[in-house]
Amino acid sequence: MKEIKSIAALAARFSTLPGVGQKTALRYAYAVIDMTEDQVDAFCAALKEVKSSVKLCSVCGNFTDSDVCDICASRSAKKICVVSYPKDIAAIEKSGAFDGVYHVLHGTLSPMDNRTPDDLNIKSLLSRLSGVDEVIVATNPDVEGEATAVYLARLIKPLGVPVSRIAQGISMGSELEYADAVTLSQALYRRTSL
Ligand SMILES: [Zn+2]
């Protein structure tokens, strides 16, 4: 059977999404064919809306649809938990084990991929440190995450702010976003100073 161009094109779009293989992408494309016009319009509008309304919190770098995110606006900034990506905040929030604020680096240090400190949201972290009791580094427990944690500790500790690292309850090489709530809260609770 000759492939229908528009179906293949839509499937190719879906396959660019994380975790979507070619088979699933094709199933999604067929699902769109089964939608009503209204449903397709709503789908397109939701895509556009997310792109136009979601931006980065001017304080912490989390996703928000206002200038400052809900967490920064409502919590004490005595403890700052540093994460690599906004999705990591969602995972930690689900554990309910942390009641401070966050800071999103938007990446990790990686000499292999030429990602240097200048590529990460670090400068604004340093400008937030006055009056802070502790910085907890919750980057992934892999080589890049560890290197990032050590780098931050070297930078922040001389400024008189204690820096700690989440415990290795999360197994080495795994990703924070997939850790369950109990493991994450244990990792936070048993954090060690750097
Ligand atoms: Zn924020």
Grouping H, G, I as helix, E, B as strand and the rest as coil, residue 67 is: coil
**In a shared domain, residues 132 and 183:** yes
Give pLDDT, residue 174. 67
Cα of 71 vs centre of ligand 1, distance in Å, is 6
Ligand 1 centroid–CA 129 distance in Å is 14
How far away, in angstroms, is 42 Cα from ligand 1 center? 29
Q: What is the CATH number of the domain that holds 23?
A: 1.10.8.420
Distance 59 CA to ligand 1 centre (A): 5
Return d(Cα 103, Cα 81) in angstroms, integer: 6
Contacts of 119 (CB under 8 A, 6+ apart): 107
Residue 167 CA to ligand 1 centre (angstroms): 24
Q: What region, left, alpha or beta, does residue 129 occupy, with left being phi > 0 and alpha being psi -120 to 50 degrees?
A: alpha
Do 150 and 173 sit in the same domain of this protein?
yes
Sequence length of the chain is 194
- The answer to whether residues 45 and 63 belong to one domain is no
Number of domains composing the chain: 2
Per residue of the chain (194 residues), give pLDDT as tens: 788 999 999 999 999 999 999 999 999 999 999 999 999 999 999 999 999 999 999 999 999 999 999 999 999 999 999 999 999 999 999 989 999 999 999 999 998 888 899 999 999 999 999 999 999 999 998 889 999 999 999 999 999 999 999 987 666 556 777 778 888 888 888 888 88
Angstrom distance (rounded) from CA 65 to CA 56:
8
69 CA → ligand 1 middle, Å: 4
Question: What residues pack around ion ligand 1 (CB closer than 5 A)?
Answer: 57, 59-60, 62, 69, 72
Range of the domain at 33: 5-53
Q: Token pair for residue 52?
A: 């136009």
Residue given tokens 């008189």 in the structure block: 160
